Amino acid sequence: MKMSGVLLGLLTLYVPLTALAGKVPLAELCVVLAGEWQGTAANPTLAPMAVSTSVMCSADKRNIYISVSRGSRFSNSETWWFRQQQDKVLLVYGNGVTEDITQQLTLYQQAGSFSFLGEGEINQRPALVQLQFDPIKASIEQPVAGWQWLQSAHYLDDDSEQYQVVRALSLLKP
């Protein structure tokens, strides 16, 4: 199955975070995510498209800056700036089209996956937000070939008890 097919399939999945997850500092994610990535991005209303993603960490690993290439959702690139603040992480999201969004999140790790959780607004609706990074396994020799980044929301004005995937991105080594 092509990666775009996998992404579309993942858009319908619910990815719960169980009680076994533990809080971790931003430095834990910084170590495994830093670098240049290629892949695709998809959301439920648009066809998958090729994107490149750059992930940079500050020297103290208390800041992660993610830039998703032009064409992922808007005509210019989007940026995700995560900053460690005590046991919380401050996210500033910008796309050059809409107002920047600031959110406070908590970072958890479970079985090799990382998940940011917090309360915010998605598509002008109040929501619980989940940004999940799951490792993509390649083989025994190369245990992690990349990451699947699922951006999900549980809308607070909805009776559903599940998170809905808003967008999925694959991060693969070029």
Q: Which of 50, 45, 83, 84 is nearest to 68 (CA)?
A: 50
Q: Residue 92's pLDDT is what?
A: 97
Q: Is 152 exposed, middle or buried (0-12, 13-18, 19+ CB in 10 A)?
A: buried
In the predicted structure, residue 14 carries a pLDDT above the cut 90: no
Q: How confident is the model at residue 12 (pLDDT cuts 50, 70, 90)?
A: very low
Report the range of poorest mean pLDDT among 6-15, 20-29, 90-99, 138-147.
6-15
Using CA atoms, how far residue 18 sits from 25, 108, 110, 113, in Å, is 18, 10, 8, 12
In the predicted structure, residue 50 carries a pLDDT above the cut 70: yes
- Does the predicted model carry a pTM greater than 0.75? yes
pLDDT in tens, 123-141: 788 899 999 999 998 777 6
Domain that holds residue 151: 3-15+24-172
Number of domains composing the chain: 1
In degrees, rounded to 5, the angle at the alpha carbon of residue 91 between the alpha carbons of residues 88 and 95 is 175
Q: Residue 162's pLDDT is what?
A: 83
CATH number of the domain to which 87 belongs: 2.40.128.20
